[in-house]
Chain A
Amino acid sequence: MKITKDLIQHIAKLARIRLATSETEKFTQQMGDIVGFIEKLNSVDTAGILETNQVNGMENVLREDEVENFPKMEELIACSNNPIENNQIKIKKSI
């Protein structure tokens, strides 16, 4: 399939990445090469083949849902470079 600049801009927007004009051109060409390469998969007959999401056979690994206190809460929150107020990270209004 053809990868267009419009498609790349749409994908970048979904991914919350801004592209400069020169980047849009570069990525359009490179993504075209990559998608051409992965389209090779179309030649494989996968009718009736189940998907593999998990490869080592582990399934339904459950544990008790217990609250644990992380001992270094303040240090963890201090990893943020945004302002901290009452142990919460202050950011711009979201709506």
Chain B
Amino acid sequence: MEITSLNLVGTKKLLSDKKASESEVVAAYSKRISEIDSKIESFLFVAENPKSENLAGELGGIPIAHKDVFDTDGMPTTAASKILENYIPPFDATSVAKLKVAGVVNLGKTNTDEFTMGASTETSAFKKTKNPWDLSRVPGGSSGGSAAAVAADLCVFATATDTGGSIRQPASFCGVTGLKPTYGRISRYGVISMASSLDTIGVISKTVTDAAIALEILAGQDSKDATSGSAPVEKYSENLRTDLKGLRIGIPKEYFIEGLDSGVEKIVREGITQLKKLGAEIVEISLPHTEFAVPTYYVVASSEISANMARFDGIRYGPTVANSEVENLVEMYFENRTRGFGDEVKRRIMLGTFALSAGYADKFYKKALQVRTLIKKDFDDAFAKIDLIAAPTAPTTAFKLGEKIDDPVQMYLADIFTAPASLAGVPAISIPAGFSENLPVGLQLIANQWEESKLLAAAQAFQNSTDFHLQKPKI
């Protein structure tokens, strides 16, 4: 048995049964990273001699990785951007601190699209992460480093962020489990912001149970994040179930449209049949504003991006031009931002600046906020009649590196089935549901706000009755 092939529950048992020590487990991961991450390129930073600060904690000795937008005390945090190259924060994000207290071992930082802006991890300023199932393909994004690292057994689980699909879509592409909780379920404090009304912290793991255990630790209100919710945190891993009797699951007809790859559709339909076999009642539903989710998302997100990115000016952190090289402060801003940001970040800053600028704010920004209300209402109406929604996570399997990078609109459409849940702030999970032409396909389950218990219980029942999550890529 390979230590690195174990999931969180298995690794915990290995440690508690004293079949392996923390240092043996960490050594196994370090060895695997040094052997194969040159092919995958999922890590931006690998820690030297990492160890647990609380071996007696609930996750004592469990090796994990953080997406490189989570501030980690004393460890580089770059958001995969040149403008934060060599930035070493002197504090931990709340989520990082909670996991540290639980005893995890932080193996390092995973690659992401620059400032999480992308759906392929190709906009990273530093590395192009490969999909472990096919090294010529993208891992998805923006949490492509975290998804690829989990899929390639380079960590037990990884933290990630999802603003429009950045946990679920790479989880689907890499054949792993990706949980985006309710907006505000996990504190955003210390996680570099992209779009503050949408950014959601979550995890990418090998199983639903693992995600449930991680969520128990990460969830909860935080005085440092005023948008974090006060809903009680449940013992998600103890509420898991083996059947779906009594659950009504809605299938939104707007998610089975032209543009959905036929191979993906076949797998997702088989997944829905499996949900039915487990006892769920399957009903067709309508989320009528689905087609407007991606344009709404790109206006709302880009507007917030243009505001959030204004803080990056090279003065307080990151590389900077010398005072002697510029005439005045504004010149310094121009110089640092022009050199520091990549194309996708510049595109979104400009789109947001445009959508908020005089003469256009009502036409674009206000309009998008109104459509967001309608999208949220679609979900409210649906959840008045059903418990969960089942749908594809992404319209395709992993695409080729370079295939969409020069066509922003095509890249944005990768979020077509994930952006609606982000705009509505509802929790969603992508779980492995099969393979199309040897590439993983994810099934997305969506629940109403704060109903992670129901979401995880159903996802776990699916996973208990299937073995897609146990398949491993040959690297």
CB-CB contacts below 8 Å: B296-318 with A = 296, 298-299, 306, 313-318
Question: Taking A11-B350, A55-B376 as contacts, is the C-beta distance between A93 and B329 under 8 angstroms?
Answer: yes
Q: B residues bordering A, Cβ < 8 Å?
A: 87-91, 182-184, 197, 223, 226-230, 289, 291-292, 294-296, 298-299, 306, 313-320, 323, 326-335, 337-338, 341, 346-347, 349-351, 353-355, 357, 363-364, 366-374, 376, 408-409, 412, 423-425, 449
Tell me whether A33 and B373 are in contact (CB under 8 A): no
A87 CB–B CB distance under 8 Å: no
Among B316, B329, B412, the residue within 8 A (CB) of A80 is B316
Question: Taking A41-B367, A56-B183 as contacts, is the C-beta distance between A18 and B334 under 8 angstroms?
Answer: yes
Question: Taking A41-B292, A41-B371 as contacts, is the C-beta distance between A12 and B350 under 8 angstroms?
Answer: yes
Q: How far apart are the CA atoms of A44 and B341 in the complex, in Å?
A: 34
A67 CB–B CB distance under 8 Å: no
Question: Taking A14-B353, A27-B346 as contacts, is the C-beta distance between A34 and B408 under 8 angstroms?
Answer: yes
List chain A residues, Cβ under 8 A from B334. Answer: 16-18
> Interface SS of chain B: helix, strand, loop or mixed?
helix
CB-CB contacts below 8 Å: A9-49 with B = 11-12, 14-18, 27, 30-31, 33-35, 37-42, 44, 46, 49
Tell me whether A51 and B323 are in contact (CB under 8 A): no
Closest beta carbon of chain A to B76's beta carbon, Å: 11
Among A58, A82, A93, the residue within 8 A (CB) of B320 is A82
Q: How far apart are the CA atoms of A17 and B88 in the complex, in Å?
A: 25
Tell me whether B320 and A81 are in contact (CB under 8 A): yes
Q: How far apart are the CA atoms of A16 and B372 in the complex, in Å?
A: 29
Tell me whether B373 and A16 are in contact (CB under 8 A): no
Among B87, B184, B364, the residue within 8 A (CB) of A79 is B87
Closest 5 CB pairs of A and B: A51-B369, A55-B425, A75-B90, A46-B370, A61-B226
CB-CB contacts below 8 Å: A39-83 with B = 39-42, 44, 46, 49-58, 61, 63, 70, 72, 75-76, 79-83
Across the two chains, which residue of chain A brings its CB closest to B319?
A81
Instruction: Known pairs A41-B299, A52-B370; list 8 more (Cβ under 8 Å).
Output: A15-B350, A38-B364, A44-B370, A55-B372, A56-B449, A79-B316, A81-B319, A92-B328
Question: Taking A33-B408, A50-B370, A53-B369 as contacts, is the C-beta distance between A79 and B317 under 8 angstroms?
Answer: yes
List chain A residues, Cβ under 8 A from B229. Answer: 56, 58
- CB contacts between A and B, total, < 8 Å: 173
List chain A residues, Cβ under 8 A from B332. Answer: 91-92
Closest beta carbon of chain A to B310's beta carbon, Å: 8
Question: Taking A76-B90, A93-B328 as contacts, is the C-beta distance between A34 and B374 under 8 angstroms?
Answer: no
Across the two chains, which residue of chain A brings its CB closest to B372?
A52
Tell me whether A44 and B223 are in contact (CB under 8 A): no
The winner among A7, A30, A82, A92 for most chain B CB atoms within 10 A is A92
Tell me whether B409 and A34 are in contact (CB under 8 A): yes
Across the two chains, which residue of chain A brings its CB closest to B185?
A56
Q: How far apart are the CA atoms of A7 and B182 in the complex, in Å?
A: 38
A90 CB–B CB distance under 8 Å: yes
List chain A residues, Cβ under 8 A from B354. Answer: 7, 11, 31, 35
A94 CB–B CB distance under 8 Å: yes
Q: How far apart are the CA atoms of A59 and B330 in the complex, in Å?
A: 36
Tell me whether A33 and B197 are in contact (CB under 8 A): no
Tell me whether B326 and A92 are in contact (CB under 8 A): yes
Closest beta carbon of chain A to B382's beta carbon, Å: 16
List chain A residues, Cβ under 8 A from B424. Answer: 55
Tell me whether B323 and A92 are in contact (CB under 8 A): yes
List chain B residues, Cβ under 8 A from A18. Answer: 334-335, 338
Q: How far apart are the CA atoms of A29 and B289 in the complex, in Å?
A: 28
Closest beta carbon of chain A to B319's beta carbon, Å: 6
Tell me whether A94 and B353 are in contact (CB under 8 A): no
Q: How far apart are the CA atoms of A57 and B230 in the complex, in Å?
A: 10
Closest beta carbon of chain B to A47's beta carbon, Å: 9
Closest beta carbon of chain A to B440's beta carbon, Å: 28
Across the two chains, which residue of chain A brings its CB closest to B377?
A49
The winner among A11, A34, A55 for most chain B CB atoms within 10 A is A55
9 A-B residue pairings within 8 Å (CB atoms): A16-B337, A17-B350, A37-B412, A41-B292, A41-B371, A49-B374, A51-B372, A52-B373, A55-B183
Q: How far apart are the CA atoms of A31 and B346 in the complex, in Å?
A: 11
Tell me whether A31 and B350 are in contact (CB under 8 A): yes
The winner among A16, A31, A33, A93 for most chain B CB atoms within 10 A is A16
Across the two chains, which residue of chain A brings its CB closest to B373?
A52
Closest beta carbon of chain A to B391's beta carbon, Å: 19
